[in-house]
């Protein structure tokens, strides 16, 4: 286990002071808890203007030795992963550190035997089964860069991500179980691979047993695995070598491949996991996220395994076979730390609380929330019904780009405040800025920004360092700009108020409006479109699309279902707008820029607070949109 754990408010304040006074020696002490083949010769090199960030320069390591080998020595029989299948009648699996190490090494050899090597990009498009975690770690073992694509994405979205990184290999499955449904992963992958010339092999895990088509690049996982053993020394990596790419949406159509590197990411995910959740040896920790998102990378796989924890992986959904599945699983595996998203809490809160109360949740010690601001009602329901008012709730603010949690209380150690993420982690210099970029002091509301690098900040956008600079470091020179607004109370607690850019968080999924508009515009009858978010009581936000059509005579109902299908096909079902409204025009400035602020008000039904619309190019269209709803 990592030492330097923060066990009291005093520890937190000391660590914060130490990290602020001398960030390098602070992180040196933490990084020293890990196993390195060679110590770094410089802790930090950075310039936010360039921008460039490097941590533990010259250090040599392999993250899987830190997550696996050292625990094979110290606690071989300790459970590393508890796998809870979609179907509660299928047996759960308990995979020990020894067993996980052996499975990772074998799969690593399978990847090598099929041509993979250090630096190659390998795309992973798999259901939430143990083989997914094993494949991620196997890539890290051989120094291949994994790019996990969420198994809910469409063929077009998968192909775009494979091609952006020139992946040479795809690992997928025949299908994936999701509640009562099956996702035909192999069919989707086949469709994607028609457009992916760089992929030379596609390894297919058998999960559902459904019939699949077979192509020349395809290899069955079980056949390939038979040919290799489990002896696979770890590839020695430089601290700054890329560990993985993970795509996140942005305000243009193209997703951003955020690149995380080996050394800093390992140090920060382990440190934050240990301290935020106050994990103790032997605890059972469960994060309900999918490994297709950063939460799954950092807090199902790497963070927990790096401290020798037992981490639960759940294949299913909260509503299957009934709305008490989460609580049934908590009781079954005696979960101690439970980490989920506000959208899941809101969905479950709609059902009778007897569904929670009938399960013995006395093992729970800590609850966590991530992905979007948690509203007061959801916070209290979580606290009352799940935590029985005895479990601290950590509201963790972070992003794909930050790699790990930046603002959160430390469970039971620092004070919580409902709906507030509270205080920055030690070493995280969070500030609030006004629109001109001046730092605000004390109680204030403004734009959230971070002043100094932390070890797990993404180093670049794959293939587009300029975009990395423009999106994160140009709006407020000298700061990292995450795209969120926040307010701060007199005690220094932060409350995240939401995005200040064209990203909308729907059910905890980060969706750029631009790619959805591009998809809508592909329809032959669409001239122009604008997508905005509006408040939704379960999803947090939902999408409202305003579309201008060529042929207004076309049946609205048909058009709407065609447009929804088009978005599902281009991006994935999660991006389908809740509302599609045909309009004759969009409110624009005189320079032709769509006034999204006005569209957001219209979508939210706030017709009385539109502000001055007289300066618009086409003020009449606003009344028309209101009348047509």
Site residues (vs ligand WT7, CB under 6 A): 248, 293-295, 370-373, 395-400, 421, 482-484, 496, 499, 505, 510
Name the burial class of residue 213, with classes exposed (0-12), middle (13-18) and buried (19+) by CB atoms within 10 angstroms of its CB: exposed
CB of 100 to ligand WT7, least distance (A): 24
CA distance 61 to 74: 19
CA distance 412 to 392: 6
Q: Which CB sits closer to ligand WT7, 104 or 393?
A: 393
CA distance 419 to 350: 19
Name the burial class of residue 134, with classes exposed (0-12), middle (13-18) and buried (19+) by CB atoms within 10 angstroms of its CB: buried
CB of 579 to ligand WT7, least distance (A): 22
CB of 511 to ligand WT7, least distance (A): 9
Give the CA diameter of the chain. 72
Which of 507, 178, 139, 149 minimizes the C-alpha distance to 319? 178
Given a contact cutoff of 8 angstroms between Cβ atoms, the answer to whether 392 and 364 are in contact is no
CB of 368 to ligand WT7, least distance (A): 9
Q: Which residue has the tokens 């595996």?
A: 333
Q: How many CA atoms lie within 13 A of 284 on its CB side?
A: 21
Task: Count CB atoms within 10 A of the CB of residue 275.
Answer: 26
CB of 540 to ligand WT7, least distance (A): 9
Q: Which CB sits closer to ligand WT7, 245 or 566?
A: 245
CA distance 56 to 43: 4
Q: Which CB sits closer to ligand WT7, 61 or 458?
A: 458
Report the SS3 class of residue 33: coil
DSSP string, 380-440: HHIIIIISTT-S-EEEEB--TTTSS--B-PPTTTS---TT--BSBPTT--EEEE-TT-PEE
CA distance 587 to 123: 41
Q: Which CB sits closer to ligand WT7, 461 or 622?
A: 461
- For residue 429 the two structure tokens come to 């210099």
- For residue 26 the two structure tokens come to 């602070």
CA distance 55 to 176: 38
Q: Which CB sits closer to ligand WT7, 201 or 295?
A: 295
Q: Which CB sits closer to ligand WT7, 56 or 293?
A: 293
Report the SS3 class of residue 340: strand
CB of 38 to ligand WT7, least distance (A): 32
CB of 510 to ligand WT7, least distance (A): 3
Q: Which CB sits closer to ligand WT7, 101 or 161?
A: 161
At CA 300, angle to CA 6 and CA 284, rounded to 5? 65
Task: Count CB atoms within 10 A of the CB of residue 610.
Answer: 16
CB of 423 to ligand WT7, least distance (A): 13
CB of 429 to ligand WT7, least distance (A): 17
At CA 91, angle to CA 149 and CA 324, rounded to 5? 75
CB of 414 to ligand WT7, least distance (A): 15
Q: Which CB sits closer to ligand WT7, 88 or 498?
A: 498
Given a contact cutoff of 8 angstroms between Cβ atoms, the answer to whether 338 and 308 are in contact is no
CB of 484 to ligand WT7, least distance (A): 5
Please count the helices (runs of H) and the strands (runs of E) in the chain: 21, 31
For the chain, what's the residue count? 629
CB of 372 to ligand WT7, least distance (A): 5
Q: Which CB sits closer to ligand WT7, 172 or 396?
A: 396
Q: Which CB sits closer to ligand WT7, 71 or 293?
A: 293
Residue 321 preceded by cis peptide, ω within 30: yes
CB of 406 to ligand WT7, least distance (A): 9
Given a contact cutoff of 8 angstroms between Cβ atoms, the answer to whether 526 and 560 are in contact is no
Given a contact cutoff of 8 angstroms between Cβ atoms, the answer to whether 515 and 161 are in contact is no
Q: Which CB sits closer to ligand WT7, 140 or 370?
A: 370
Q: Which CB sits closer to ligand WT7, 159 or 505?
A: 505
Q: Which CB sits closer to ligand WT7, 370 or 425?
A: 370
CB of 89 to ligand WT7, least distance (A): 31
Q: Residue 247: beta bridge partners?
A: 257
Q: Which CB sits closer to ligand WT7, 62 or 288?
A: 288
């Amino acid at each position: 286990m990592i030492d330097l754990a923060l066990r009291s408010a005093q520890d937190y304040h000391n660590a914060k002071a130490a990290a602020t006074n001398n960030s390098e020696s602070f992180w040196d002490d933490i990084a020293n808890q890990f196993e390195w083949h060679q110590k770094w010769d410089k802790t930090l090199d950075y310039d936010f203007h360039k921008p460039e960030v490097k941590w533990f320069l010259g250090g040599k390591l392999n993250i899987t030795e830190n997550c696996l080998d050292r625990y094979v020595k110290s606690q071989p029989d300790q459970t590393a992963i508890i796998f809870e299948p979609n179907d509660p009648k299928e047996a759960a699996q308990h995979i020990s550190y020894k067993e996980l190490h052996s499975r990772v090494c074998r799969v690593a050899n399978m990847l090598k035997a099929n041509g993979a090597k250090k630096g190659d990009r390998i795309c992973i498009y798999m259901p939430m089964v143990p083989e997914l975690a094993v494949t991620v770690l196997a890539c890290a073992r051989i120094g291949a860069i994994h790019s996990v694509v969420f198994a809910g994405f469409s063929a077009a979205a998968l192909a775009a991500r494979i091609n952006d990184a020139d992946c040479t290999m795809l690992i997928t499955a025949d299908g994936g179980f999701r509640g009562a449904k099956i996702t035909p992963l192999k069919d989707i992958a086949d469709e994607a691979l028609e457009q992916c010339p760089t992929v030379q092999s596609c390894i297919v895990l058998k999960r559902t047993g459904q019939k699949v088509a077979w192509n020349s690049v395809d290899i069955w996982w079980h056949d390939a695995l038979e040919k290799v053993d489990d002896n696979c020394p770890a590839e020695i990596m430089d601290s700054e070598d890329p560990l993985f790419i993970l795509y996140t949406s942005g305000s243009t159509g193209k997703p951003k491949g955020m690149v995380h590197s080996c050394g800093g990411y390992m140090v920060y995910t382990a440190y934050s996991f240990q301290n935020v959740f106050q994990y103790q040896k032997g605890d059972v920790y469960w994060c309900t996220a999918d490994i297709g998102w950063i939460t799954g990378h950092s807090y199902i796989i790497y963070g927990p395994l790096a401290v020798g924890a037992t981490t639960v992986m759940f294949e299913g959904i909260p509503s299957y076979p009934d709305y008490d599945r989460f609580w049934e699983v908590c009781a079954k595996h005696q979960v101690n730390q439970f980490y989920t998203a506000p959208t899941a809490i809101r969905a479950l809160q709609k059902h009778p609380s007897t569904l929670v109360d009938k399960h013995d949740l006395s093992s729970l010690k800590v609850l966590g929330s991530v992905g979007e601001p948690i509203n007061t009602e959801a916070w209290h329901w979580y606290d009352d019904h799940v935590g029985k008012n005895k479990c601290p709730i950590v509201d963790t603010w972070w992003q794909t780009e930050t790699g790990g949690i930046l603002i959160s209380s430390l469970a039971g150690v620092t004070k919580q405040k409902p709906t507030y993420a509270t205080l920055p982690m030690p070493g995280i210099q969070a500030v609030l800025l006004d629109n001109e970029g001046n730092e605000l002091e004390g109680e204030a509301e403004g734009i959230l920004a971070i002043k100094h690098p932390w070890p797990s900040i993404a180093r670049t956008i794959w293939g587009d360092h300029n975009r990395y600079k423009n999106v994160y470091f140009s709006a407020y020179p000298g700061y990292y700009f995450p795209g969120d607004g926040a307010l701060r109370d007199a005690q220094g607690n932060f409350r995240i108020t939401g995005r200040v850019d064209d990203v909308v968080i729907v059910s905890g999924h980060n969706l750029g409006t631009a790619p959805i508009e591009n998809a809508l515009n592909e329809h032959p009858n669409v001239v122009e479109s604008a997508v905005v978010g509006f408040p939704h009581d379960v999803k947090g936000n939902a999408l409202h699309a305003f579309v201008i059509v060529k042929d207004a005579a076309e049946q609205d109902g048909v058009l709407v279902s065609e447009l929804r299908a088009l978005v599902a096909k281009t991006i994935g079902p999660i991006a389908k707008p809740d509302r599609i409204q045909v309009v004759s025009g969009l409110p624009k400035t005189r320079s032709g820029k769509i006034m999204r602020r006005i569209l957001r008000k219209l979508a939210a039904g706030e017709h009385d607070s539109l502000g001055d619309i007289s300066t618009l190019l086409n003020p009449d269209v606003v009344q028309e949109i209101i009348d047509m709803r």
